[in-house]
Structure 1
Amino acid sequence: MPALTLRLAQGTPCWVSLTTDDLPGARAFYGELLGWDFAPGPGQLGEYVRARVGAEAVAGLGVSEVTGFPVQWTTYFAVDSADRAAQLVRECGGTVAVGPLQAERAGRLAIAADVSGAVFGLWQGEEHLGREAGPAPGGPAWAELLTPDADGAAVFYRAVLGVPVAPAEGGSALLVDGRPVAGIRRGAELRGHPPRWRTHFAVADVEATARRAVELGGAVLVAPRHTGRGPTARLADPRGGHFSVLEVP
């Protein structure tokens, strides 16, 4: 996918970022697993790098400044105004944990949680517009919220992002320009974990990727299986960060 030159429509998942306590280890693991190399990113929130596939930035990796903060991937949604969207989060019963603040010249961001506690980001792109999920291996392919209150989540994200939410297989989907860009479903697989947005990365072979993740010190949480979106597996990196992989042609 060519580099973006126009800001993505509001409500589109535009970026994913890992918060970890072992940045060198994360670079080694994901670099080998997904074919990434790395370049420096904005230092507003501490040590941070951008992962690239070729010349294209596809994800961010950073070190948490908060002791005990969980290792996790965060999905960011494009917004026209991070300040306005953050205010809507509060008005709709969510919380804003970080920002809105300026990430140097890259853009303006906020990190928030919805009414059930699922963490997500808001990104008002300036020099860095993000990346639209697409089919290229190594990049984010799909975002899906697992929550005990799928109906409440649909109401929340419809109001905060200003996009329609329509019924979809297994739950509902956020729509941008009439097409699904992210899913919401009741979290039958939560098993004591908090509600969360799950990041899916595109890969050419799900089974081979799952085997390689284990060889690199990660784990397979849910074995490769077929879904309505294609073959997928849920994995964890060596520090326990959960993510999924989705096989693309």
Structure 2
Amino acid sequence: MYAEGVPCWVDAQLPDVDAGRRFYGELFGWTFEERREDHGDSVWALLDGEPVAALAHKADGRMPTVWTVYFATPDAEATARRIRAAGGQLVTAPTPVGGLGVAALAADPEAAVFGLWQPGGHPGFGVRHRPGAFVWAELYARDTEAANTFYGHLFHEALFGPGAAPDFGRAPVADVFPEMMPPHFLVHFGAEDCEAALGAVSRLGGRVQAGPFTASYGTVAVVTDNQGASFALLER
């Protein structure tokens, strides 16, 4: 079970889940398990048989095509109240997902969207911190001090407590993106060889947005998949 405030799951909202299966299956070696009985039209991505992500059909074409990171919480309703009290807002109220757990979407005071996951039958990642799996989430913010205050209030132990290893960093938007880019979270997946992975992204119909560049946590490249969802590749 993941501690409160630790990234524990990611999903992608895509126009075409089958196209997503082909792209990510080829890029990361993922296999897929149907989850239609639990949460609409979605599949779980597996790496060596362990769950690493979900691909879900974007029900509303007006919604963005995005990867979302979910932070673990023992009580999604209580965390939602703290988010509102700290100046954030709820995008989607805590909602049971079959017997798997309770999910919510929220936005921080700069409108960067993130998820909450209160585990039930599904604790989150079965494997992480390796090529083809989640390794990091970076928040690109306008005001990193304000972000540290907001998330420090929300997830203090995970970010700043003894032995904290949150897999969650904060950086100014303009460090990597044009200044007009809105604040957002960027999900990072591990890559054994970042340059080789970039070649695969391009071959599969994706594109490179930025990098590779050196960050404090490794070599990073920002890409989009063949449907426009942005994510990062991280070589350590």
TM-score by length of 1: 0.88
1:28 counterpart residue number: 22
Structure 1: distance between partners of 2:139 and 2:211: 19
- The DSSP-based 3-state class of the residue aligned with 1:101 is strand
1:183 counterpart residue number: 169
1:24, CA displacement in angstroms? 1.1
Structure 1: distance between partners of 2:16 and 2:36: 18
Structure 2: distance between partners of 1:43 and 1:193: 37
1:212 counterpart residue number: 200
1:132, CA displacement in angstroms? 7.3
- The DSSP-based 3-state class of the residue aligned with 2:106 is strand
- Structure-to-structure mapping, 1:216-227, within 5 angstroms: 216-227=204-215
Identity %: 35
1:3 counterpart residue number: none
1:13 counterpart residue number: 7
Unaligned runs of 5+ in 2: none
AA partner of residue 224 (structure 1): P
Confirm or deny that 1:125 pairs with 2:114: no
CA contact (8 A) 1:11 1:176 kept: no
1:48, CA displacement in angstroms? 1.0
1:65, CA displacement in angstroms? 1.8
Stretch deviating more after TM superposition (125-134 or 148-157):
125-134
Confirm or deny that 1:108 pairs with 2:102: yes
2:93 counterpart residue number: 99
Task: Please list every run of at least 4 consecutive aligned residues from structure 1 whose deviation after the TM superposition is greater than 4 angstroms.
Answer: 42-45
CA contact (8 A) 2:5 2:159 kept: no
- Structure-to-structure mapping, 1:65-76, within 5 angstroms: 65-76=59-70
CA contact (8 A) 2:67 2:187 kept: yes
The CA deviation string for residues 8-59 of structure 1, in whole angstroms up to 9 with x for no partner, is: 1101110111011111111111110011011123656521111000110001
Q: Decide which of 67, 81, 94 is 2:75's aligned counterpart.
A: 81
Structure 2: distance between partners of 1:176 and 1:150: 22
Unaligned runs of 5+ in 1: 1-6, 167-174
Flag the 1:211–1:150 CA change in 2: closer, same or farther, 3 A.
same
AA partner of residue 15 (structure 1): W
CA contact (8 A) 2:51 2:126 kept: no
1:229 counterpart residue number: 217
1:52 counterpart residue number: 46
Alignment size in residue pairs: 234
CA contact (8 A) 1:138 1:202 kept: yes
AA partner of residue 205 (structure 2): G
1:157 counterpart residue number: 151
Flag the 1:162–1:41 CA change in 2: closer, same or farther, 3 A.
farther
Structure 2: distance between partners of 1:117 and 1:241: 18
Structure 2: distance between partners of 1:132 and 1:118: 26
Q: Decide which of 112, 117, 132 is 1:138's aligned counterpart.
A: 132
Structure 2: distance between partners of 1:162 and 1:219: 36
